[in-house]
Amino acid sequence: MNTTFRRGRAAAVAAVTMSLVLAAAACSGKASEGGGDGDVKTGPGVTDDKITVTALTDLTGVYAALGKGVTQAQKLYFDGLNKQGGVCGRDVELVVRDHGYDVQKALAAYSEMAPKSAAIPQLIGSPITMALRSRIENDKLLTIPQAWAHTLLGSKYVQVTGTTYDIDMINAISFLRDKQGVKSGDTIGHLRLEGDYGQSALAGVKYAAEKGGLKVAEQQVKPTDADMTAQVAAFRRANVKAILVSVAPRQAASLVGVAAASGLKVPMVGSNSAFAQQLLATPAGPAFEASYYIAQASPPISADVPGLKKLAADYQAAYKGEPLDLSVVSGYSTAAVIGEALKRACAKKDLTREGIVNAHRDGTTVDLGLGLPKEDYTQWTKAAARATYISRPDKNVLGGTKVEVASFESPEAKSYDPPAG
Amino acid sequence: MSGLIEVLVNGISSGAVYALIALGFVIIFKATEVINFAHPSLLLAGGYAVAELHDDIGFWLALLVGIATTAVLAALVEMLVLRRMRGRDHSVLSIVTIGVDIVLTVELARRIGTRVLPIGDPWGSAVVRFGDVTIAQTRIAAIVVAFVAIAAFLLAFKYTSWGVAMRATAEKRETAALMGVRLGRVSAGAWAVAGVFAVLAAVFLCVFPTPGLDRTVSFAALKALPAAVLGGIDSTTGALVGGLLIGITEAAVIGYQGDIGLFSHGFADVAPYLVMIVVLLVRPAGLFGTREAARV
Amino acid sequence: MSRKLLWVGAAVLLVLPPFYLDAFWLQSGLFAMSAAIGAIGLNVLTGAAGQLSLGHAFFLALGAYGYIWLAGGDERTAGIELTGLGLPTLLAAVLAVLLAGLVGGLFAPLAGRLRGASLGIATLALVFLGQHVLFRAEGVTGGANGRDVPPLNVFGLEFADSPEPVLVLGIPFNGLEKLWFLGLVLLAGAAWFARGVLASRPGRALNTIRDHEIAAGALGVPVARTRAAAFVLSSMYAGLAGVLFALIYRRTVPDTFGLALSLDYLAMIVIGGLGTVGGAVLGAVFVSMLQPLLTRYADGIPFVAASGSAGPSPAEAARIIYGVVFVAVLLFLPTGLAGGLSRLTSRLRRRRPGTTPNPPASNPSREESTA
């Protein structure tokens, strides 16, 4: 065999290819980085005619209902913004990446889009936000998670909007004591999911219960559980006077249905993630209308606010037949937070990532006319707002929920100091 | 005491539903030696058909149509995919069902979207009370329907010609074929029967106390897989016993989880697997499974 | 072109990506390398020895979390007290692989006795029990939120991003660029070792057990012990894949290591081709790259609506196409991608005899002899 010849040829080929490679590498596009055109300083994600922002959302996983509503509402906002001329003469483009609530897929999508984005107006999932947090801080990307656990606080670049779950629960307990006859010495039940959402809510429940002299009966469930019979039995044994609900809509429906059927007639207050309009069409619907309330920072879309009416009309025009639920307000208002930050960064002629974050944190609050409480973005270790709406399901109103108690801030919520994550 | 009875009834009721699913796994395994990873999507398909149709044609008719479509769908999977791969390694056949499951589940989940579909059953959220004990009517219905269906199957398995052919096939494929058993018909039939059981299970997974059908219903199939293994993947009795065992364990762990301590949250999901490993250590073929004759 | 030239060309091509491709591609490619290592291990067990394992995800988790715990320090995040031994990272990586092997060894009494589908189902239990423990053992794993992965540091070379990355030929070399070369070395080593095992005595023993257990016993092959050894080896490969996986993503959550991951691995070896190293690698690349690629470029697929509007979304379409291709490969390529590829090349060679001046390579690939 002529191995020497072969080896020689192989080596030659390798050497030639290698040198070609290295020569080419020197002019590879990877080495360059953006800068700016004399007038406005720009960073990654900003070109001469376009600003790219990325939504890392869930369109195929367990939070697909939330993800779809939020994404469509955000598209609506940015389309409107672009019709008015965009920001700094540039269109804002919303790129959507679906991660199906899978952390690894979200990490991959982030790796793809982060280098090309100026901000992240939507990030669904507590575990995903936690997983990306250190990278977001490294990349200085202003990010708005669609999750409200207080453990997400504490990062300059991650803006949790509105109230956190613990504060909603504190205000909910205040509502139960003031309006629903729960008094000192009573036991209240708390049904919660394992993980951040449930944990955060529990922190608030425990705090408010201690302040009000209440005992707490806890029941923890998994996201895949769908039958709450055993939990209702346990609440009945504990003789609870009210139940706080920090689970997914599916578990909430089972809880409400089983409680009604077994004669446990107590008021229940859920977090914003513990209700979905679609549940009113199920057999549990009437029970929801009879005894269920929702505690959250933003008003239901049926509230008597002109801005909301306009949003509802625009949304229905753009997406015929799509449900007008809580996710629409949430998506629109969070997109607006990014939009406003971009506008102010533009005014300061600094569209770098640092410039966008600083513009966002500069203390200006903008009233979108959506009935949202005033939010304070200057501090990132505390929740942006402490006032909560209490609403209740009603299948005859737009969006399926109506205002029960207008936005209020209980004394306990005022004095509460959430442990930062 | 009333608590214990409620736990037992709930356990037997969900156990009966698991048994229906486990039996599906067993029947398919006996006929084709395939672990059907597409079973979750069959469950979803049946439930979806009933949920979509009941408004227009009533629950019972919708159930019949649902059963028919799912049985046909299951048989089609066998005829269009598995039959064309006959003679290949059995693990390959099992794996191809993963691909089938992906396609079916994504399409069904897309159709269901973000809705929660009521199944339209006649029992609603009505309950029966015996003194202190409150039991949902759906639980009783689940027990009755499951046991009637399983009994009917076991009788058919024993006395009809299809049952005899199927048992012969499970015993020794080649010999059965030589004796004139038409293997294709037996396999497709087995898949169809498993599909029928899947629909029945899906209906009872979506009635009160759960809110209705959504895309997560298919997860229940995975809970029933250990039931099938526990009893022995080739034993119909085993599926029944395994299903009940898992249903009752689960109900007991959930019912008394406050008493077992916080660490046990979610323990219900793994208790079956712990039991399974112990059982397999003692009896590698499962409680009622056929033991391999040859040992080395 | 001689075979050797092909190999050299391939090697050069594999060195290129860090100089040209962005983070998305590097991450996907690295993920495929990690998957390939795990798949090679599974192929030794399932392909060569005929033992179906659904527990591969569990051993990947052992590798990933073993490394994190051994190398990580005590810290507190999001209200959870995390513990760790703080060992040097290289040592931690080696120990994590050994840990996976050790636990695989503990499972040996079952792995040796059960065969085929029964083992598959018993190992299914490992995945569910393992995930339960991962979710509960918050001090080690960080619970449902997961935990950051300490970057690997080999004699002062740190595989992490830095504010001022080293420039290699004008290209900033960050964590992923460096990891790319580590991944290549590990994959090459893993493939070389597995080919050695499969082509020698132990490999033949495994094949004999797969094809005829009783005959193997009669020929003096210690059946239970050989099976258990294959299980341990495959666990260690999974452990190594887990370590690399953790290093690539810099964060792991227990959710990842579920049944779906185990099924993905089975799909890899079956799609690629059972029993061969090349098959495992091809299958791993196929399964781990196809879906992200489809998702990324799904906007271009006809009949697909944009994200967030009616009709199948790009993500859904990508998953459906993935499923269809999955079934189609199994239906129409009985020997997997590897078999299909070698048939294709041999057909091409036959059709154009004039283009091969050298006689066919003197050493036929070992893959073909073990297939």
**Residue A399, Cβ neighbours under 10 Å: how many?**
21
Q: Which tens digits make up the pLDDT trace of B9-67?
A: 888 998 999 999 999 999 998 888 888 999 999 999 999 999 999 989 999 999 999 99
Q: CA-to-CA distance for A162 and A146, rounded, in angstroms?
A: 11
Q: What per-residue confidence (pLDDT) applies to C299?
A: 61
Q: Which tens digits make up the pLDDT trace of A276-302?
A: 888 888 888 899 999 999 999 989 989
Residue A65 domain-assigned (yes or no): yes
Tell me, yes or no, if B280 comes closer than 8 A to chain C by beta carbon: yes
Tokens in use for A251?
A: 């578990």
Report the chain A residue with the minimal C-alpha distance to residue C315.
A98
Residue B249 domain-assigned (yes or no): no
SS3 (DSSP) at C184: helix
Q: CA-to-CA distance for C38 and B34, rounded, in angstroms?
A: 24
Tokens in use for A360?
A: 């966002």
Residue B82 domain-assigned (yes or no): yes
Q: CA-to-CA distance for C122 and C127, rounded, in angstroms?
A: 9
What is the model's pTM?
Answer: 0.82
Q: What per-residue confidence (pLDDT) applies to A217?
A: 92
Would the pLDDT of B73 be above 80? yes
Would the pLDDT of A409 be above 80? yes
Based on the fold, state whether residues A309 and A289 are members of the same structural domain: no
CA-wise closest residue to A124 among A268, A298, A331: A331
CA-wise closest residue to B209 among C138, A257, A30, A211: A257
Closest Cβ–Cβ partner in A60, A227, A261 for B210: A227
Task: Assign domain C17-357+365-370 to its CATH architecture.
Answer: Orthogonal Bundle (1.10)
**Residue A315 — very low, low, confident or very high, per pLDDT cuts 50/70/90?**
very high
**Residue C363 — very low, low, confident or very high, per pLDDT cuts 50/70/90?**
very low
Q: Which residues pair with C252 in a beta bridge?
A: C147
Residue C190 is which amino acid? Answer: A
Based on the fold, state whether residues A282 and A326 are members of the same structural domain: no
State how beta strands A292-296 and A36-37 pair.
Answer: unpaired
Residue B237 domain-assigned (yes or no): no
Based on the fold, state whether residues A158 and A46 are members of the same structural domain: yes
Region A232-256: mean pLDDT is 91
CA-wise closest residue to B139 among A235, A258, A279: A258
Residue B203 φ then ψ, to 5°:
-60, -45
Q: Which tens digits make up the pLDDT trace of C2-11?
A: 677 777 877 7
Q: Which of residues 236-265 of B touch C (CB under 8 A)?
A: 263
Based on the fold, state whether residues A244 and A211 are members of the same structural domain: yes
Q: Which tens digits make up the pLDDT trace of C3-48?
A: 777 778 777 778 788 777 777 888 889 999 999 999 999 998 887 7
Give every CB contact of residue C53 below 8 A, 6+ residues apart in sequence: C42, C45, C46, C119, C120, C123, C231, C234, C262
Based on the fold, state whether residues A237 and A377 are members of the same structural domain: no
Q: Which of A58, A59, A104 to mutate to test the interface with C (most CBs of C within 10 A)?
A: A104
Cα angle A209, A215, A216 (rounded to 5 degrees) comes to 85
Residue A21 domain-assigned (yes or no): no
**Residue A213, Cβ neighbours under 10 Å: how many?**
11
CATH number where A106 lies: 3.40.50.2300
Is there a contact between B85 and C267 if contact means CB atoms under 8 Å apart?
no
Based on the fold, state whether residues A318 and A194 are members of the same structural domain: no
Q: Which tens digits make up the pLDDT trace of B243-268?
A: 998 888 888 877 776 554 544 556 66
CA-wise closest residue to A43 among A30, A34, A52: A34
Tell me, yes or no, if A420 comes closer than 8 A to chain C by beta carbon: no
Q: Which of residues 80-119 of B touch C (CB under 8 A)?
A: 81, 84-85, 88-92, 94-96, 98-103, 106-107, 109-110
Return the top range by mean pLDDT from A171-180, A318-327, B102-111, C335-344: A171-180
Give every CB contact of residue A58 below 8 A, 6+ residues apart in sequence: A64, A66, A67, A98, A99, A100, A101, A124, A125
| Cis amide linkage into residue B209, ω under 30° from 0 | yes
Would the pLDDT of B111 be above 60? yes
Is there a contact between A68 and C308 if contact means CB atoms under 8 Å apart?
yes
Based on the fold, state whether residues A409 and A366 are members of the same structural domain: no
Q: Which residues pair with A393 in a beta bridge?
A: A401
Q: CA-to-CA distance for C171 and A136, rounded, in angstroms?
A: 23
Is there a contact between A59 and C307 if contact means CB atoms under 8 Å apart?
yes
Q: CA-to-CA distance for C53 and A391, rounded, in angstroms?
A: 51
The DSSP symbol for C309 reads: S
**Residue C259, Cβ neighbours under 10 Å: how many?**
17
The distance of A267 to chain C (nearest Cα, Å) reads 31
Residue A110 domain-assigned (yes or no): yes
Residue B270 domain-assigned (yes or no): no
Give the domain extent around A307.
41-163+302-385
Based on the fold, state whether residues A319 and A208 are members of the same structural domain: no
Residue A5 domain-assigned (yes or no): no
Q: Which residues of A touch B257 (CB under 8 A)?
A: 230
Q: Where are the beta strands (DSSP E) in B242-292?
A: none
Region C100-125: mean pLDDT is 79
Q: CA-to-CA distance for A333 and A306, rounded, in angstroms?
A: 15
Residue B126 domain-assigned (yes or no): yes
> Where along chain C do its domains lie?
17-357+365-370
Domain total in chain A: 2
Cα angle C112, C113, C119 (rounded to 5 degrees) comes to 85
**Residue B4 — very low, low, confident or very high, per pLDDT cuts 50/70/90?**
confident
CA-wise closest residue to C148 among C61, C77, C202: C77
Residue A69 domain-assigned (yes or no): yes
Give the domain extent around B126.
2-218
The DSSP symbol for C200 reads: S
Q: Which tens digits make up the pLDDT trace of A96-116?
A: 888 888 888 888 889 888 889
Which ipTM was obtained for this model?
Answer: 0.85
Closest Cβ–Cβ partner in A59, A75, A151 for C79: A151
Based on the fold, state whether residues A189 and A276 are members of the same structural domain: yes
Residue C21 φ then ψ, to 5°:
-95, 155
Would the pLDDT of B136 be above 70? yes
The distance of B92 to chain C (nearest Cα, Å) reads 7
Residue A28 domain-assigned (yes or no): no
Residue B242 domain-assigned (yes or no): no
Number of helices (H) and strands (E) in chain C: give both, helices first. Answer: 17, 8
Domain total in chain B: 1
Residue A82 is which amino acid? Answer: N
